A = this chain, B = another copy of it.
């Protein structure tokens, strides 16, 4: 986000009713909005999104033309009293969202900002190596003129997309109905329906919020954009689309642990010959030089290697290193299993370090 000039802020979760009354959303929201009162009987809600708050902040701080386009983002909890909230992190009453708000001087620059940010969101999904789809969508209670959703295709998804397999055009079903689309508007091919999980949503808001807050420069209301990424939902959706029955898989960048090192079974020859230490040294090296805290040692040595390997696969460890018999060789070797393709290699310590250096460099490239 900093790469596109965005500044990180943090807005409150508990928002005074007067802010949403200004935009009209205090009454427009039906039961989805969590409302509560403080000890002085003042009305608050738990913010489902932050358009009013951020507009109020920018208004309060007085921006100059030179500061535009202004990009403000946060990563914080959002609250929505969902009717269906059954699928764990996919749809929860409380969830983590990264939301970015932009302010521009006129429609043209707002449009270019909008495309710029959408492009950076696409890059995020590419870095996560997720097969995503950006589609046209309706604007709903957030409002505005133009809106796009980011989706991961999956049968557990609650949304239905209409996709043109020829040119790649896609829209949410709602749009298809609204616009009476039968065929792809670009190449006239049949649209194919696919179930999908929404993981991001962007809106070109126009002046919907800047007008009621009187946020203007040279008597022109600023043009806003807003862009949400469902952080906790991306985690759950990615696991949903990447995993198999026997193996949980996270995108490497967000896997809670990157490497697990399985040490020898208690009472084995390997254990007696002290190669457990070899595993611990490797763990320290990977932890200190490459993966920070994301390396664990599975030292439940009362369990077999096979049982621990299965557990590690179920936990979603991308790289499992087994310190076994060949660690006793003159040049010790370990077995390295990459969970992404279930490949297994025998590697020396220096080979394994080279391998992880390559993995890490590949993943740090800004695509």
Q: Which residues of A are at the interface with B, using a C-beta cutoff of 8 A?
A: 2, 10, 12-14, 31, 34-36, 38-39, 46, 76-77, 79, 81, 83, 93-94, 96, 293
Question: A14-B79, A77-B13, A93-B14 are contacts. A36–B35 as well, Cβ < 8 Å?
Answer: yes
Complex: chain B residue closest to A77, CB-CB: B13
Expressed in whole angstroms, the minimum distance between the Cβ of A213 and any Cβ of chain B is: 22
Complex: chain B residue closest to A85, CB-CB: B38
> What separation, in Å, do the CA atoms of A21 and B360 have in the docked complex?
48
Contact partner of A34 (CB less than 8 A), chosen from B12, B36, B93, B94, is B36
Complex: chain B residue closest to A64, CB-CB: B300
Expressed in whole angstroms, the minimum distance between the Cβ of A290 and any Cβ of chain B is: 16
A-B contact pairs, 22 of them (CB 8 A): A2-B293, A10-B96, A12-B94, A13-B13, A13-B77, A13-B79, A13-B94, A14-B34, A14-B46, A14-B79, A14-B93, A14-B94, A31-B39, A34-B36, A34-B38, A35-B36, A36-B36, A38-B81, A38-B93, A39-B83, A46-B46, A76-B77
Known contacts A2-B293, A36-B36, A39-B83, then 20 further A-B pairs from the complex at CB < 8 Å, ordered by chain A residue: A10-B96, A12-B94, A13-B13, A13-B77, A13-B79, A13-B94, A14-B34, A14-B46, A14-B79, A14-B93, A14-B94, A34-B36, A34-B38, A36-B46, A38-B81, A38-B93, A39-B81, A46-B46, A76-B77, A77-B77
Complex: chain B residue closest to A45, CB-CB: B36
Q: How many copies does the complex hold?
A: 2
Expressed in whole angstroms, the minimum distance between the Cβ of A133 and any Cβ of chain B is: 29
Complex: chain B residue closest to A10, CB-CB: B96
Residues of B with C-beta under 8 A to A96:
10
Residues of B with C-beta under 8 A to A12:
94
> What separation, in Å, do the CA atoms of A10 and B38 have in the docked complex?
25
Expressed in whole angstroms, the minimum distance between the Cβ of A254 and any Cβ of chain B is: 14
Complex: chain B residue closest to A300, CB-CB: B66
Residues of B with C-beta under 8 A to A38:
34, 81, 93
Residues of B with C-beta under 8 A to A77:
13, 76-77
Expressed in whole angstroms, the minimum distance between the Cβ of A68 and any Cβ of chain B is: 15
> What separation, in Å, do the CA atoms of A38 and B92 have in the docked complex?
13
Expressed in whole angstroms, the minimum distance between the Cβ of A298 and any Cβ of chain B is: 13
Listed from nearest, the 5 A-B pairs whose CB atoms lie closest are A36-B36, A31-B39, A39-B81, A14-B94, A12-B94
Expressed in whole angstroms, the minimum distance between the Cβ of A230 and any Cβ of chain B is: 15
Residues of B with C-beta under 8 A to A81:
38-39
Most B CB contacts (10 A, CB to CB) among A2, A31, A93 go to: A93
> What separation, in Å, do the CA atoms of A76 and B14 have in the docked complex?
14
> What separation, in Å, do the CA atoms of A31 and B36 have in the docked complex?
13
> What separation, in Å, do the CA atoms of A96 and B13 have in the docked complex?
11
Residues of B with C-beta under 8 A to A35:
36
Expressed in whole angstroms, the minimum distance between the Cβ of A5 and any Cβ of chain B is: 11
Residues of B with C-beta under 8 A to A14:
34, 46, 79, 93-94
Expressed in whole angstroms, the minimum distance between the Cβ of A136 and any Cβ of chain B is: 30
> What separation, in Å, do the CA atoms of A340 and B293 have in the docked complex?
34
> What separation, in Å, do the CA atoms of A10 and B46 have in the docked complex?
18
Complex: chain B residue closest to A299, CB-CB: B66
